A and B are shown apart, each in its own frame.
Chain A
């Protein structure tokens, strides 16, 4: 029973990661992509937790769903401003 529950959790998080990653690839607007990437980071953190790797999950959560999207959003803002000027 417990093993079946574990498997179900692993499969569910894998499916979520696959869906979020596909969505991140198909999203063409970088600003929206940052938000999807943040969701993907959350999904990966969940997957690592389910696979009993909480250390990696913490790193993933902090970097993947907070720092990376913020850096992308700041870059998009700057690039758009420069484009408008040209």
Chain B
């Protein structure tokens, strides 16, 4: 396609999107008003399913199939990263040197790590009750683990992070969501239908399958982020070209 034709296609696309967007905005409820046609229905459905956090009810019950798609996108993206950032021929793995960390940073990281880990697990477990859920809590858990890299060094992080196990957990989390959906079919209802007893409203065990799906997503997301960052960290710290390694060693010797 020539540059001119590309510009025409772009203009047509932009104009179409602008027209549809304007038409949609004209019929939207006014900003900050009290009339929320979709919100009211979602809240009503969430109350019927005894799920206190309406957003979780939408994500893991009313539209649980959409969430399966989103979870799979993250899974596929991490899989792609694992394939792309592997060690290739002509590259060698070196042991990273221990790094010195300012004592204040170390103290802060060590103090915050368990707290952040606990908050992450709390957010996963309370997805059906309060803001948050598997995705948010999973990312918090994964970033909490990386405080070890910030506060101590890469080797300390590696000791608590066997990447193989996290890769396994990533797959298990993704699979658990699919299997929980199939449970709906086995119970004689629809795929990802909320088939479990709904429990008492506003307690940890409420919402039927919502907390279980949250746990599956939490496991998947936490492991996915750990695996993702592990690949980036390995490229930046561990994997070197064989030629480059020789040169770096020479430079170090010269400096000394």
Which of B55, B133, B136 has the largest count of A CB atoms less than 10 A from its CB? B136
Q: Are A6 and B32 in contact (CB under 8 A)?
A: yes
Main secondary structure of the interface of B (DSSP, over half): helix
For window 64-86 of A, CB contacts with B under 8 Å fall at 66-67, 70-71, 74-75, 77-78, 81-82, 85
Q: How far is the CB of A19 from chain B (nearest CB, A)?
A: 22
Q: Mark B18-60, 1 if CB is under 8 A from A, else 0.
A: 0000000000000010000000000000000000010110000
Interface status of B139 (Cβ within 8 A of chain A): yes
Given A55-B136, A74-B235, output 17 extra A-B contacts at Cβ < 8 Å: A55-B53, A55-B131, A55-B132, A57-B131, A59-B135, A59-B136, A59-B139, A62-B140, A67-B142, A67-B228, A70-B232, A71-B228, A71-B229, A74-B233, A82-B244, A85-B243, A85-B247
Interface residues of B (CB under 8 A from A): 32, 53, 55-56, 123, 131-133, 135-136, 139-140, 142-143, 146, 225, 228-229, 232-233, 235-236, 241, 243-244, 247
Interface residues of A (CB under 8 A from B): 3, 6-7, 54-55, 57-59, 62-63, 66-67, 70-71, 74-75, 77-78, 81-82, 85
